[in-house]
Amino acid sequence: MLKSIQAYIKDFALVIGAKRFKLHRVIIDFIAKPLNSPETFDIKKQKLFEENFQWKAYKALVSDEKEDDWYIYSLVLAPWGDKGDIPASVYASDSTGKILDNTEVGVTAEELEKNPNLSKYLKGPQLKILDLPVTAVTYINEDKKKYDRQQFMEKFENFKVKGPEGQMINFYILVQPKGYKNLKTPFGENINPNVGKK
């Protein structure tokens, strides 16, 4: 169905008139078992190819353009990193990200997701954020250990171990929706499909 000229004008007016927001910090929670852990999230014939990484939550600290009003955008993630079943929430906060109880929130999660300055980070949401300073993105494991983007890449996304036939294989494998066959890294990159197949 084609949009009318009036619909395009209305959409343009909404973008022009949108309140401007700034993204200050992103915190992404995940669960990854340590190297020596016997626990994984599925059961296969070879432990090396079992899923042992899942995403948990995505939070962003944002403010209005003048930095008078601060908010925490919070989203529960599906284990594979998509938006979960629970709608995103927005809380009033201070500039450090501390949530302010009993304080009116002047914006909705949908408004933040549609805002031109924030949409590319919140709509997906984006988990591999390359265009923000390293210090602006923190990944936190369930054991409360924190990692910047570079540390996360080294320890989880690119970390390899020796496979049963001597080949180097990715250690951390992302949980996938039921019925999905491909092995993936935490950021969703396909792992060599022949790895682990006899």
Task: State the pLDDT confidence band at 53, using cuts at 50, 70 and 90.
Answer: very high
Task: State the pLDDT confidence band at 169, using cuts at 50, 70 and 90.
Answer: confident
H or E, element range at 139: strand 137-141
Can you tell me the distance from the alpha carbon of 93 to that of 99, in angstroms, rounded to the nearest whole number?
4
The tokens for 78 are 């599906």
- The more confidently predicted of residues 26 and 45 is 26
Average pLDDT, stretch 158-184? 87
- The more confidently predicted of residues 169 and 13 is 169
Listing DSSP states for 16-78 in one string gives HHSPPEEEEEEEEEEEE--TT----SS--SSGGGS--EEEEEEEEEEEETTSSSEEEEEEEBP
Residue 28: which residues within 8 A CB-CB, separation 6 or more? 55, 57, 58, 59, 127, 137, 138, 139, 140
Per-residue model confidence as pLDDT tens digits over 101-141: 988 898 999 999 999 999 999 988 999 999 999 899 999 99
- The more confidently predicted of residues 185 and 123 is 185
Q: What angle do CA 22, 136, 100 make, to 5 degrees?
A: 60
Say if CB 119 and CB 14 are below 8 A apart: no
pLDDT at 86: 94
Sheet holding 53-64, edge to edge: 89-93, 70-76, 53-64, 21-32, 137-141, 146-147
% of the chain with per-residue pLDDT over 90? 63
pLDDT at 14: 43
| Longest pairwise C-alpha distance within the chain | 63
pLDDT at 139: 98
Say if CB 42 and CB 52 are below 8 A apart: no
Task: List the chain domain ranges.
Answer: 17-148
